[in-house]
Structure 1
Amino acid sequence: MSYATLPEETRYWARAGILDTIGVTVAGSREAAPRLAAEALDLHDGPALILGRRRRVDLLEAAVVNGTASHVLDFDDSSNTMGGHPSAILTGALLPLADMLGSPGSDVVAAYVAGFEVQSKIGLGVNFHHYSKGWHPTSTLGAFGAAAAASRLMGLDEAETAVALAIAASFASGLKANFGTMTKPLHVGHCVRNGLYAARLAAKGFTANAGSVFEHGQGFLDVFNGKSNYDMAPTLSTWARPYDLTSPGIAVKQYPCCGSTHPAIDATLAIFRAHRPDPARIARIDAAIHARRLTHVNRPHPQSPLDAKFSVQYVISRAIADGRVAVGDFHDGALEDDRIRALLPKVHMSAYNETGVGDFSADNHFGGHVTITMEDGSKLSARVEQPEGRTTANPMPQSRLRAKFALCVEGLLQDDRIGPIADMVEHLEALPDMGELTETIRNATLSD
Structure 2
Amino acid sequence: MTEPTHDRDAAGARDTLLGKLARNIVAFDANRVEGHALARAKACIADTIGVMLAGAQEACARILLRVPGVAQAPGPCTILGTGIRTSALDATLVNGTSSHALDYDDISGDFGGHPSVPLVPLLLALGQERGGTGRDFLAAYAVGVETEIRLARAAHPVHYDKGWHPTATLGVFGAAAAGARYLKLDVARTTMALAIAGSLANGLKASFGTMTKPLHVGHCGRSGLFAALLASEGYEGAADLLEHHQGYFQVFNGAGNFNPDAVLQDWGHPLEIAGPTIGIKQFPCCGSTHASIAAALNLAQRHDLRAADVARIEIMPNRHRLKHTDKPYPASSLDAKFSVQYVVARALVSGNVRLRDFENDAYLEPEIQRLLGLTQAVPHPGMGEGGPQWGTEIIVTLKDGSRHAERIANMVSRDGSCPMSRAELKAKFDDCSQRVLPAGQADALFEQLWALEQVQDMKASAAWLQAGAA
TM-score where L is the length of structure 1: 0.95
Aligned to 1:392: 416
Q: Describe the SS at the equivalent of 1:216.
A: coil
Aligned partner letter, 1:119: E
- Unpaired segments of 5 or more residues in structure 2? 1-27
CA contact (8 A) 2:441 2:467 kept: no
CA contact (8 A) 1:414 1:444 kept: no
Change (3 A) 1:258 1:127: same
| Cα deviation, residue 272, structure 1 | 1.8
Aligned to 1:27: 54
CA contact (8 A) 1:366 1:385 kept: yes
Please, which moves more after superposition, 200-209 or 392-401? 392-401
The one-character-per-residue Cα deviations of 1:150-176 (angstroms, maximum 9, x if unpaired) are 000000000000000000010000000
Aligned to 2:379: 351
Aligned to 2:23: none
Partners of 1:100 and 1:318 in 2: CA distance: 43
Partners of 1:442 and 1:328 in 2: CA distance: 26
CA contact (8 A) 1:53 1:442 kept: no
CA contact (8 A) 1:99 1:438 kept: yes
Aligned partner letter, 2:398: M
CA contact (8 A) 2:287 2:413 kept: no
| Cα deviation, residue 123, structure 1 | 0.4
Change (3 A) 1:41 1:230: farther
RMSD: 1.6
The one-character-per-residue Cα deviations of 1:33-87 (angstroms, maximum 9, x if unpaired) are 0111121153223111111122211111111110100001000001122111011
The one-character-per-residue Cα deviations of 1:412-444 (angstroms, maximum 9, x if unpaired) are 112112222211111111111223554224246
Please, which moves more after superposition, 423-432 or 28-37? 423-432
Partners of 1:127 and 1:378 in 2: CA distance: 41
Q: Describe the SS at the equivalent of 1:21.
A: helix
Partners of 2:434 and 2:49 in 1: CA distance: 13
| Cα deviation, residue 234, structure 1 | 2.3
Matched ranges for 1:203-222 at <5 A: 203-210=232-239, 212-222=240-250
Aligned to 1:201: 230
Aligned to 1:375: 399
Does residue 289 of structure 1 match 2:313? no
Q: Describe the SS at the equivalent of 1:416.
A: helix
Partners of 1:108 and 1:443 in 2: CA distance: 19
Partners of 1:151 and 1:375 in 2: CA distance: 60
Partners of 2:269 and 2:465 in 1: CA distance: 36
Aligned to 2:283: 255
Partners of 1:188 and 1:385 in 2: CA distance: 30
Please, which moves more after superposition, 89-98 or 5-14? 5-14
Aligned to 1:55: 84
Does residue 156 of structure 1 match 2:185? yes
Aligned to 1:276: 304
The one-character-per-residue Cα deviations of 1:250-276 (angstroms, maximum 9, x if unpaired) are 110000100000010000011122233
Match of 1:144 among 165, 173, 191: 173
| Cα deviation, residue 214, structure 1 | 0.5
CA contact (8 A) 2:33 2:138 kept: no
Aligned partner letter, 2:197: A
Partners of 2:127 and 2:315 in 1: CA distance: 45
Partners of 2:206 and 2:275 in 1: CA distance: 30
Does residue 117 of structure 1 match 2:146? yes
Does residue 421 of structure 1 match 2:449? no
Please, which moves more after superposition, 417-426 or 139-148? 417-426
Find runs of 4+ consecutive structure 1 residues off by over 4 angstroms: none
CA contact (8 A) 1:41 1:61 kept: no
- Unpaired segments of 5 or more residues in structure 1? none
Change (3 A) 1:443 1:72: closer
Aligned to 1:8: 35
Change (3 A) 1:64 1:281: same
Q: What's the % identity of the aligned pairs?
A: 41
Does residue 17 of structure 1 match 2:41? no
